[in-house]
Amino acid sequence: MEKKKVLIAYGTRYGATTSTAEELAKVLRDEGFEVKVVNLKKEKVKDITEYELIIIGSGIKMNMWTSKAKAFLNKFSPELKNKKVAIFVSSGGRALMEYKGEHDEISRITKKYLEDQASKYDLNPISMTMFGGIWDFNQMGKIYRKILDSEKENFAPAGFKETEPGVYDSRNWDEIRKWAKELVSKIYNNPI
């Protein structure tokens, strides 16, 4: 039997969304899907008709999606309305907010980064989620570094790991793998 196909199309600025997308792909391949992963900065998607599920991912900077991921939604939104769609974003801010107990702020940004984007393009995704991200002090501008320097003491208790010198990663890989597995059951339980 031919394998069902999944497209993971994403935009990234600092690279976190790339490795998150790769991990999602790994789980979905293990579950028997054929998965194409596209970094929208490097490759264009011409056609989405062959895909059973389309996962769109974006890093967040100053509350904004990447322009490439937004352009993808813009271009394909008429077709995406009739497809199974899932959305994730990579957020460096989430873990810090969770650690500080800023639950109202988390609800606000979840709506802004996910629900508002979906409704802007009139999509009804089978799942949407916000994963962690990275703070890379080697790539950061001066102003942000100053702001983040004052947060550094919160990094370890908030669950960030220094994966390379100056790179702090708040992603929870179990959470990422779990989401991918949940998508599989949602693919089969969704009528589209």
Q: Based on the shown chain and the rule CB under 6 A, indicate whether residue 118 belongs to the binding site for ligand FMN.
A: no
Residue 42 binds ligand FMN, judged by CB under 6 A: no
With CB under 6 A as the contact rule, the residue among 68, 69, 92, 127 that binds ligand FMN is 92
Least distance from ligand FMN to the Cβ atom of residue 56, Å = 13
Q: Minimum CB separation from ligand FMN for residue 143, in Å?
A: 8
Q: How far is the CB of 166 from ligand FMN (least distance, A)?
A: 12
The window from 67-75, 130-138, 174-182, 183-191 that contacts ligand FMN (CB under 6 A) reads 130-138
Query: Contact between 155 and ligand FMN (CB under 6 A)?
Result: no
Whose CA is closest to 59, among 24, 97, 21, 105? 21
Using rule CB under 6 A, residue 117 touches ligand FMN: no
Residue 93 touches ligand FMN, criterion: CB under 6 A: yes
Taking every pair of Cα atoms in the chain, the longest distance, rounded to a whole number of angstroms, is 55
Q: How far apart are CA 132 and CA 79, in angstroms?
A: 29
Q: Rounded CA gap, 67 and 150, in Å?
A: 29
CA gap 160, 158 in Å, rounded: 6
Using CB under 6 A as the binding rule, whether residue 140 contacts ligand FMN is answered as yes
Residue choice 4, 12, 28, 125 for contact with ligand FMN (CB under 6 A)? 12
Angle between helices 16-30 and 173-189 (to 10 degrees): 50
Taking a C-beta distance cutoff of 8 angstroms, is the pair 25, 184 a contact? no
Strand partners, 192: none
Q: Restricting to residues 45-84, which ones interact with ligand FMN according to CB under 6 A?
A: 59-63
List, as one string, the DSSP characters of 13-60.
SSSHHHHHHHHHHHHHHHTT-EEEEEETTT------TT-SEEEEEEE-
93/187 with CB nearer ligand FMN: 93
Does position 14 interact with ligand FMN (CB under 6 A)? The reply is yes
Write out the residues near ligand FMN by the rule CB under 6 A: 12-17, 59-63, 90-94, 133-135, 140, 144
